[in-house]
Structure 1
Amino acid sequence: MTTKTAWPFGADADRDDPLTALRIPVTGTHPQWRYIATFDRDSEARPTDAEAAMLASFIDEYKTHWFNEHYQQKLAERTLDVDGGCNTTIFHKWGDGDWSYRRGSWQYGPFWVPVSPRLRNGDLDHKSLPPHTLAQTMDRIRTIADDKPMKRWIDWKAARTEVFGGEA
């Protein structure tokens, strides 16, 4: 008889989702825990294996950049990466090559960036971005102002061509 260990995240994160094995929490749009990044369970589509690897790498880049080795080891002892100082990034997939994100702290502005497909090019009074691939969405997250993505992110992707396909 096997005994399952206690799941500290309750209904906030899906314990048995295949993404959880990659340390990618699958949550709703307003997770209760401060995960580094999550995948929205209400997405219209699931990540491919290649996209799941990119999500896991995105989380790893954050840990490598912000946390020292000792704290990274403490995080590795947990099932999912949670830190009280994180502003959780929630990823949503609308369809093939169509991703958006939001931050857990957002209270104003569009709910998703880019906005949902039904709001694109509509009558709303905001700029509508075209669909973004997951890599483009991550680049946007790792960009300050309207410039190009941060050097650390470009270098991270360039060192992981098996995950990002040489897209730097």
Structure 2
Amino acid sequence: MTTAWPFGDDADRNDLLTAHRIAVASPHARWNYILTFDHESEARPTHTETLILASFLAEYIDHWYDTLWKKRLAERPLDVDGGANGYTFHKYGDGDWGYRQRSWRRGPMFVPVRPSFRGHEYDDTNGLGPLTLVQVMDRIHTISKRPMQHWLDWKAAHPEVFAQ
């Protein structure tokens, strides 16, 4: 891995989350990070939540990339892929998280919306929230009524991170 910082001021090089390959940046960052923590969040992740974010990123890479792509990703200090539908996580407060996907062009900035907007006339999520970080991740991995099996298997294989 190179020690050069190719991202300029787009992501915070000195943030503690960066050591876990988590970009700390705007939800509309110039680089296509696979996982971003919104630098405008009202609260910071706890140590446990940091491990959960890092595990989410590891699962994404494990699930979607072959050995060659994993090697290419590892060449930079943060994981970047213009073809990936990157995720930005936002922490409103204790046990209250939201997320967005880079591909979103309409709708709320984050789901669930910020607490002061929940249940209001323009809340497209019908008052959803608060959700814990794991509940938000389960929602990301849900297509029908329950999270996809590969995500359930990942969580089961990593009880040190996902222990309830």
Q: Give the TM-score category using the shorter length.
A: over 0.9
The AA in structure 2 aligned to 1:9 is F
Deviation string 1:142-161 (CA, Å, 9 cap, x unpaired) is 1114x100000000000000
Amino acid in structure 1 at the alignment position of 2:159: T
SS in 1 for 2:52: helix
Task: Provide the aligned length of Structure 1 versus Structure 2.
Answer: 162
Partner Cα separation in structure 1 for residue 43 and residue 6 of structure 2: 27
Query: What is the DSSP-based 3-state SS (H/G/I as helix, E as strand, rest coil) of the residue aligned with 2:90?
Result: strand
* 1:20 and 2:18 are equivalent in the alignment: yes
Opposite residue 72 of structure 2, the aligned amino acid is: K
Q: Tell me if 1:53 matches 2:63.
A: no
CA distance in 1, matches of 2:99, 2:81: 19
- Give the Cα separation in 2 of the matches to 1:66 and 1:124: 35
CA RMSD of superposed structures (Å): 1.5
Q: For 2:111, what is the secondary structure of its paired residue?
A: coil
Tell me which residue corresponds to 1:39.
Answer: 37
Q: Which of 54, 68, 71 is the equivalent residue of 2:69?
A: 71
Match of 1:131 in 2: 130
SS at match of 1:10: coil
Deviation by residue 1:86-136 (Cα, 9 ceiling, x = unmatched): 111000000000000011121111111001101012233531102000000
Gap regions ≥5 residues in structure 2: none
Any runs of at least 4 consecutive aligned residues in structure 1 with deviations exceeding 6 A, and if so which?
Answer: none
Aligned to 2:118: 120
Tell whether the 8 Å contact from 1:31 to 1:104 is kept in structure 2 after alignment: no
The structure whose Rg is larger is 1
3-state secondary structure, aligned to 2:100? strand
